[in-house]
Structure 1
Amino acid sequence: MRKPDRKVKRRSRYLVAPVLALSVLLSGAGGPSALAASDTKPYDDRLLRLSEILGAVHYLRELCGANEGQYWRDRMRDLMDAEGSTALRRAKLTRAFNQGYRSYSRTYNTCSPSAQTAINRFLSEGSELSDGLLKAFPN
């Protein structure tokens, strides 16, 4: 098992802060009744993509020996707590996370340079998505 390179470990922090900030902002956006008012949001596509990225990162970071345990799954849980206002929304978010996880578990059995590259790209894309969501929907 390879140890993760330091660059990947540092970059992971850049995705965490926006995801956490996003979950806090969205959870406070008018309270639970405002979130439950509609099952679809204008940012759902981006939110589902972020969920898929979290699933892929969860699998790949563990595969590459990051020893983060359930860290990325916990970030997904934070996102679901903020955005999973209905059973349908929670199911969609869960499905996207699982799709990201399963897709890469079928593709990668060992930590390779390609897997490391995928991690870096996902962390970058996830950070951009989180930042974009925060800017577009500041509440």
Structure 2
Amino acid sequence: MTRFFLLGLVVVSPLLAASSLQAQSQKPQEPTVSATPYDRQLNRLSEIIGTITYLRNRCSEKPEPQWRAAMEKLLTLDAGNEPARKEQLTAAYNRGYRAFGALHDTCTKAAQATEQEYRAEGATLIKEMINRFGN
């Protein structure tokens, strides 16, 4: 009985492999992200904007939609018609937003200090990107 089972595997295995290859070739290709020399900085900036959005809205008396609007503008200007790039930058923004949502559920002095530090880092990052990569 073992011999027939093994023989069956020998016959069926190539068929499974062929169907697996065919299924893989029919899968839609994932869009690629076009690389730019400032990708690392832009991802970090997106994360910083997400953090600031969370902390400013947590610490202000009324929501501050300008931070989310700034991120949407960044997506429009830099990601344009590249869905994969837009997804990558949005993920960085959400990562920054959620990370501090887990740490600061109320506005504290530490949250305010963190927000100031991130604003300074973001401003420095923007200046460096402009100086290095143009405006």
Question: TM-score if structure 1 supplies the norm length?
Answer: 0.70
The alignment yields a C-alpha RMSD, in angstroms, of 1.3
1:107 is matched with 103
Unaligned runs of 5+ in 1: 1-37
Measure the CA separation in 1 of the matches of 2:36 and 2:61.
34
1:98 is matched with 94
1:1-139 equivalence runs, <5 A: 39-65=34-60, 67-85=62-80, 86-138=82-134
Unaligned runs of 5+ in 2: 1-32
Measure the CA separation in 1 of the matches of 2:121 and 2:62.
22
Q: Which amino acid aligns with 1:91?
A: E
Q: Which amino acid aligns with 1:39?
A: S
Structure of higher CA gyration radius: 2
Deviation at 1:69?
2.9
Measure the CA separation in 2 of the matches of 1:59 and 1:118.
11
Following TM superposition, the consecutive aligned residue runs of length 4 or more in structure 1 with deviations greater than 6 angstroms are none
Measure the CA separation in 2 of the matches of 1:78 and 1:110.
28
Deviation at 1:103?
0.4
Matched position secondary structure for 1:40: coil
Q: How high is the sequence identity, in percent, across the aligned residues?
A: 34
Measure the CA separation in 1 of the matches of 2:62 and 2:51.
15
Deviation at 1:68?
4.3
Aligned length: 102
More RCO (CA 8 Å, sep 6+):
1
Deviation at 1:99?
0.3
Q: Which amino acid aligns with 2:60?
A: G
